[in-house]
Amino acid sequence: MDIAVNILLTIATAATPLLIAAIGELVVERSGVLNLGVEGMMIMGAVGGFGAGYLTGSPWIGLLAAIIAGALFSLLFAVMTLSLATNQVATGLSLTLLGLGLSGMIGTSFVGQPGVRLPNLDIPGISSIPVVGRLIFGQDPVFYISIALTAAVMWFLFKTRTGLTLRSIGDSHTSAHALGIKVIRYRYLSVIFGGACAGLAGGHLSLVYTPQWVENMSAGRGWIALALVVFASWRPWRVLAGAYIFGAVWIGQLHAQAFGIPVPSQFLSSLPYLATVVVLVLISRNKRLTMMNTPASLGQPFVPDR
Amino acid sequence: MRIELVKRPQRSALFSMLSPFIAFALTIIAGAIMFALLGVNPLNAFEIYFVEPISQVWQLHELAIKAAPLILIAVGLSVCYKANIWNIGAEGQFIFGAIFGSIIPVLFPQFEGPLVIPLMLLLGMVGGAFYASIPALLKTRFSTNEILTSLMLVYVAQLFLDWLVRGPWRDPQGHGFPQTIQFGDSAVLPELMPDAGRANWGFVFALVAAVLVWLMMSRMLKGFEVRVLGSSPRAGRFAGFGFNRMVFFTFLLSGALAGLAGISEVSGAIGQLQPVISPGYGFTAIIVAFLGRLNPLGIVAAGLVLALTYLGGEAVQSALGISDKVARVFQGMLLFFVLGCDTLIHYRIRLIGIALTKPNGAAQLEAAPKLEEAR
């Protein structure tokens, strides 16, 4: 029983950064912008979070710094693609490349330093209840944020007027513009929200998952988050399910390595990436589902004519 | 303050030519600020970064070694991107080219003679093309997003190479180091001018590839097909150009060139397989492709510039104790500025909300066409 609980807990820890980054990107893509820089924003969040936590000794300040780092970094993308109408694919890629380089440079002095870890929730008496206590009341704070965030985004996108407006922009920015909606402003806010989420996800990596700074520690999670959004066909609850499936794959291969299964560890390590490919293939085979849900103006630059 | 874009009646030939230079100048300015923030005199740093690494003949050879894979890969990628097909997994195709090409020197080291190198190069191209065919197949069969699949396969390729050199292909006499045996003499790509420096035939391959692809893009029907399908898939369909065929063509071409770069690097510069054989050439080549304006000849120049950023990064690390990640930052900034400056080709930029417009701003306002050709 204890082992099962432990495995579930580690799966939740592995799934949380994927979930947060993917939920952020989902909002961005729903507004019609394709930001391929998730990996870069995530790693900036990770280094910013670790740095602030390490220098101040407070993991909470670290977490805040991670969010700010991700948001600021995404602003760069927003200015380029929204104000200067650059190619979104190329700009997103450059955001990732710049983020990986910049974080490596900033983090040089952090390598090997002991980090601070965000403490798990501990409610006296309740968190120590077997099984349920630890699963529901004893996890790290970011876990709860991730669940709340998913619920909030679900409500915002599908139950509020602003959410409807946002989705309409993603489906046809020309029509939305004709209706007098401030397309660019909505998209700026969406991109910054996505950046903040990616930063938070990075902060989770360097303040909870492995409280230290390792270069390239995001290890492709930003890309997997992007794939999750496609996999989820732009639905928040499917992102939640997908993130946990991927968390399970990630943890499963780690456990398999620890148990000494006679398969080379490199093959097991490549499982999450291969699983991403397989899942993408499975989902894209269903063309109708994909066509129906893909925001119609995704990735197209918009220049308001007046 | 708000930025407003005004569509030009036609693309500006002037900015088309100038934009890479403006981007480079802006990168230098941003780099100066970065060095100042790091507490280094920017002028001093720039001398070490951009001048010293190419002040002697043997250093120019090192530049050619670094530039060769960048140019080879970027030339292939430029064709993809022109066709609006996004292969970003060149790093993985580079690795698979290196693995396939190394089959001969690692598994059949007794096989010697003048045939070895051509066979290795051929196998390298096959390996890269094979690995690139996976995302192409998935895109054409299942319309799976090629950006994500090609990128994911990079991680898989890196892990596969890691397994090979630590497992079945490890040199038994290598004292446990994760590397294959040293390639035999006939499996090493010859140097161009052994007396002057280390540059090998890889650089020649890069130049030849650039010229050939330039000819194809500007003088042949295939190049026209690429450009039409890239700028207007619908028009391409009416002209009878197959989109799926184009996906395969661009992926196989870019994969083969990345594979050639991979085997050339391993056979020429390294001499054996190791867990890590590339400092991110496959990704840096994306920057090279855009800096070269997706033109094969421009890419040759861009490849040399980006190769210099690698050398400069190593130089400032040893001279000033700054992390060689500086190189990555320079490369990233350069791509940002290039993309930003490219906007100037199609648009005029006006700043609104502060009393600052570009020179001739008022005149431009009146000249701005009311034509509805914006989209």
Position B250 in a domain: yes
> CATH number for the domain including B246?
1.10.3470
Q: Exposure of B19 by Cβ count < 10 A (0-12 exposed, 13-18 middle, 19+ buried)?
A: buried
Interval A151-178 mean pLDDT: 91
**φ, ψ dihedrals at A173, nearest 5°:** -70, -25
Position B12 in a domain: no
CB B54 within 8 A of CB B242: no
Domain interval for residue B217: 41-321
Q: Is the Cα dihedral A231, A235, A241, A243 positive or negative?
A: positive
Q: Exposure of A122 by Cβ count < 10 A (0-12 exposed, 13-18 middle, 19+ buried)?
A: exposed
Q: Inspect the interface and report whether the beta carbons of B325 and A284 lie closer than 8 Å.
A: no
CA–CA dist A16, A10 (Å, integer): 10
What predicted TM-score, i.e. pTM, was given to this entire model? 0.87
Residue numbers in A near B145 (CB within 8 A): 230, 280, 284
Position B133 in a domain: yes
CA–CA dist B293, B74 (Å, integer): 11
Position B229 in a domain: yes
Nearest one of B175, B210, B214, B231 to B72, comparing CA atoms: B210
- List pLDDT tens digits, range A234-286: 889 989 999 999 889 888 888 887 777 778 888 888 888 898 899 888 888 87
For chain A, give the percent of residues with pLDDT over 70: 97
- Eight-state DSSP code of residue B279: S
Which CATH code for domain A2-293?
A: 1.10.3470
Residue B360 pLDDT greater than 70, yes or no:
no
Position B113 in a domain: yes
Kindly state whether B374 is in contact with chain A, defined as any CB-CB distance less than 8 angstroms: yes
Q: Inspect the interface and report whether the beta carbons of B152 and A227 lie closer than 8 Å.
A: yes
Length of chain B: 375
DSSP string, B212-242: HHHHHHHHSHHHHHHHHHHH-HHHHHHTT--
| Between residues A293 and B87, the one the model is more confident about | B87
Query: Chain centroid to CA B96: how far?
Result: 17
Position B372 in a domain: no
The domain limits of chain A are 2-293
Task: Name, in order, each residue with C-beta under 8 angstroms of A159's C-beta and a sequence gap of 6 or more.
Answer: none
CB A223 within 8 A of CB A92: no
Helix (H, G, I), strand (E, B) or coil at B347: strand
Which range of A188-197, A212-221, B29-38 scores highest in mean pLDDT? It is A188-197
Which own/partner pairs from B161-167 qualify as long-range (CB within 8 Å, at least 24 positions apart)? B161/B95, B161/B98, B161/B99, B161/B273, B161/B275, B161/B277, B162/A266, B162/B275, B163/A264, B163/A266, B163/A267, B164/B99, B164/B273, B165/B273, B165/B274, B165/B275, B166/A266, B166/B275, B167/A264
Position B5 in a domain: no
- List pLDDT tens digits, range B149-204: 999 999 999 999 999 998 888 888 878 788 888 888 888 888 887 777 787 888 99
Q: Is the Cα dihedral A82, A87, A91, A92 positive or negative?
A: positive
Q: Inspect the interface and report whether the beta carbons of A274 and B145 lie closer than 8 Å.
A: no
Q: How many domains would you assign to chain B? A: 1
Q: With helix as H, strand as E and coil as C, how does B133-144 read?
A: HHHHHHHHHHCC
Q: How many Cβ contacts (< 8 angstroms) between chains A and B?
A: 143
Q: Inspect the interface and report whether the beta carbons of A303 and B374 lie closer than 8 Å.
A: yes
Beta partners for residue B352, in sequence order: B2
Quote the minimal CA–CA distance from B80 to chain A in Å: 13
Position B14 in a domain: no
Kindly state whether B143 is in contact with chain A, defined as any CB-CB distance less than 8 angstroms: yes
**Smallest CA–CA distance from B6 into chain A, residue:** A305
Kindly state whether A284 is in contact with chain B, defined as any CB-CB distance less than 8 angstroms: yes
- List pLDDT tens digits, range A25-68: 999 999 999 999 999 999 999 999 999 988 888 889 999 999 99
Kindly state whether B370 is in contact with chain A, defined as any CB-CB distance less than 8 angstroms: no
